[in-house]
A and B are shown apart, each in its own frame.
Chain A
Amino acid sequence: MKILVPFKSVPDPYAGAGAAAKSVINPFDEIAIEEALRIRERGEATEIVGVTIGAPAVDEQIRSALAMGVDRAIRIDDSRALDPYAISRILRTLVEREAPQVVLMGKQAVDDDSNQVGQMLAGLLGWPQATFVSKIEFLDNKTRAQCSRETDGGIEVIAISLPAIITTDLRLNEPRYVSLPGLMKARKKPIEVINCEQLGVNVHPLTTTLSVASPPRRTAGTRLESVEELVTRLKQEAKVL
């Protein structure tokens, strides 16, 4: 079984406000990479291919993915501000070229917070999808997968035929740290760089971000001294009790 893991470079979500955040692999995609590694480690996958669409600067995150244990990586060289639909159309072409049995990817990129690409890719390919997944088991000689999904109403379990798209939620696993030998090995692993023209896809974003502003901020209110004071304020001032 071959697993394709699309991943995105995003500003570090743990960086404090104001600090210039360094780039990292999107946390949900890191979870996807970790899961692919575990599937390979239990003998159910033979190859893990990472793919990212971005400018040369994202090569640093590609190295991290390779150091975690991804076998080889592809960067689709594109520095435009692409929207999730454009990203999913590029990925569709790559999936057709690589023919994986599973595409394992994050549910959401934590910079744009769109939560669209996996589902769009599944729609374009006509493949089944399991989104927001917290557990994966392969069934029937790896022709199907049973997945637990985190939904608003609690955990839901579905079974899907392969090939399929699976998107990860936070509770699927805890990604490993990159090891020194991993980093050494990563240096020798191949990174293929291609562009959309070479891939034969012609996409243009249909959504454009016109401006980005800081939302209004809440300000600190009143420090209270006791439970009695809190109850009084909630009753008389806030009128919520």
Chain B
Amino acid sequence: MAETLVLIELDRQRVKRPSLHAITLAQQLGGDYALLILGSGVAEAANSIISYGAAAVLVADDPALAEPLADRYASVIAQATRQQGAKRLLASSSTFSKDVLPRAAALLDAPMVTDVLALAKVDGAIAYQRPMNAGSKLATVKVDGELCVLTARATAFAMPSANGAPCLIATFAFDAASLPNEMQFVSRELRASDRPDLAEARVVVSGGRPLKDSETFERLVGGLADALGGAVGATRAAVDAGMAPNDYQVGQTGKVVAPELYIALGISGAIQHLAGIKDSRIIVAINKDADAPIFQMATYGLVGDLHQIVPQLIAAIQKT
């Protein structure tokens, strides 16, 4: 039994670090919490998260869960939530949790709040702050009912500390044969990259429309990212034009990042892009238009042609 159940996300049998940030929201909410992981052959992953102060790590381990198919996953997650008698089900925001948790919420007859940024107290009751309209508004939301489902913006909650006493790992038993079977996994694009994950990188370099093609994009944006040991991001315009893969998109409808250093190359600063970067500590903008909106929020701005500036910048960094 736990008051809060935190769904932890795996990527090829390993725990995705941003998904651990939801534990911090569970701690702020108070009461005990259990961690839940689903997959096939996930004992090692379960072992890696026993020290985050949870009451238990619940493991649903079965070949039927080898791929994160929403119908099965939501069914198992809803069953585990009921079995725990949990009042809250949470996870860090990601395409995985956004796919699976609203479905689980419906199975649990519960409302859901997406992208929680912080807790608030209103008239003695807990309320949730969340962004709306591409981050141009900050809403405070209250939830009625016995149970609610939440996703937390990983960038708004710190990484929890891993020095709790080791907790128990409990098998969550379910009937695999009775799971829904109308969705099949076909394939997943495998892209080997030595670069850090966009969501976790200390430095992110992103490129926009003027990068022209994937070769120029890789040479300039990728080159600068590599000089800094950073990850690569892109605007929607760059992704739509085929310069960068879809999962590089940063913004309202892509990924939200908050690195120490964000460098925007040839990016105008549309509100939908800024929604994904505004909590970065330092923002550098390089743009040839002195009036580009991005300069209104950049820590450092450099006006000029990126095709000239970026090679110089790479060389200067390599010298330091």
Taking a contact as CB atoms under 8 Å apart, the answer to whether A152 and B247 are in contact is yes
With contacts A151-B247, A159-B183 taken as known, whether A206 is within 8 angstroms of B312 at the C-beta atoms is: no
Taking the nearest CB of chain B, how far is it from the CB of A86, in angstroms? 8
Main secondary structure of the interface of B (DSSP, over half): mixed
0 or 1 for each of A203-235: is its CB under 8 Å from B? (1 = yes): 001111111111101111111101110110111
B-side interface size class: 35 or more
Taking a contact as CB atoms under 8 Å apart, the answer to whether B127 and A210 are in contact is yes
Cα separation A236 to B107 with both chains bound (whole Å): 54
0 or 1 for each of B283-320: is its CB under 8 Å from A? (1 = yes): 11000000000011111111100000100110011001
Q: A190 at interface (Cβ–Cβ under 8 A)?
A: no
Q: A112 at interface (Cβ–Cβ under 8 A)?
A: yes
Q: A157 at interface (Cβ–Cβ under 8 A)?
A: yes
Taking a contact as CB atoms under 8 Å apart, the answer to whether A154 and B189 are in contact is yes
- Chain B binder among A45-53, A57-65, A121-129: A121-129
Q: A7 at interface (Cβ–Cβ under 8 A)?
A: no
Residues of A within 8 A of B272 (CB): 13
Residues of A within 8 A of B163 (CB): none
Taking the nearest CB of chain B, how far is it from the CB of A67, in angstroms? 25
Residue of A nearest to B298 (CB): A221
Main secondary structure of the interface of A (DSSP, over half): mixed
Pull 16 A–B residue pairs with CB atoms less than 8 Å apart, ordered by A. A113-B252, A119-B70, A122-B103, A123-B105, A152-B96, A206-B148, A210-B127, A211-B140, A212-B132, A213-B140, A215-B136, A218-B278, A221-B298, A223-B301, A226-B302, A235-B320
Chain B residues with a Cβ under 8 A of chain A? 11, 69-71, 74, 94-96, 98-107, 110-115, 122, 127, 131-145, 148, 180, 182-191, 199, 203, 228, 236, 239-240, 245-247, 252-253, 255, 260-261, 271-272, 278, 281-284, 295-303, 309, 312-313, 316-317, 320
Chain A residues with a Cβ under 8 A of chain B? 11, 13, 17, 83-85, 88, 107-108, 110-124, 126-132, 134, 146, 149-161, 164, 169-171, 205-215, 217-224, 226-228, 230-231, 233-235, 238, 240-241
Residues of A within 8 A of B141 (CB): 207-210
Taking a contact as CB atoms under 8 Å apart, the answer to whether A224 and B300 are in contact is yes
Residues of A within 8 A of B112 (CB): 84-85, 114, 116, 120, 207
Taking a contact as CB atoms under 8 Å apart, the answer to whether B104 and A123 are in contact is yes
Residue of B nearest to A88 (CB): B106
Cα separation A149 to B69 with both chains bound (whole Å): 12
The 4 closest A-B pairs by CB, nearest first: A123-B106, A119-B102, A206-B111, A218-B297
Taking a contact as CB atoms under 8 Å apart, the answer to whether B102 and A84 are in contact is yes
Q: Given contacts A128-B71, A129-B99, A151-B96, could you give 7 more A-B pairs where the C-beta distance is less than 8 Å?
A: A13-B134, A129-B70, A207-B141, A207-B143, A218-B297, A221-B301, A240-B282
Cα separation A228 to B114 with both chains bound (whole Å): 43
Residues of B within 8 A of A152 (CB): 94-96, 199, 247, 255
Cα separation A121 to B105 with both chains bound (whole Å): 10
Taking a contact as CB atoms under 8 Å apart, the answer to whether A17 and B99 are in contact is no
Residues of B within 8 A of A208 (CB): 141-144
Cα separation A40 to B258 with both chains bound (whole Å): 43
Cα separation A123 to B279 with both chains bound (whole Å): 34
Taking a contact as CB atoms under 8 Å apart, the answer to whether A157 and B187 are in contact is yes
Among candidates B247, B299, B303, residue contacting A153 with C-beta atoms closer than 8 Å: B247
Taking the nearest CB of chain B, how far is it from the CB of A9, in angstroms? 14
Taking a contact as CB atoms under 8 Å apart, the answer to whether B182 and A240 are in contact is no
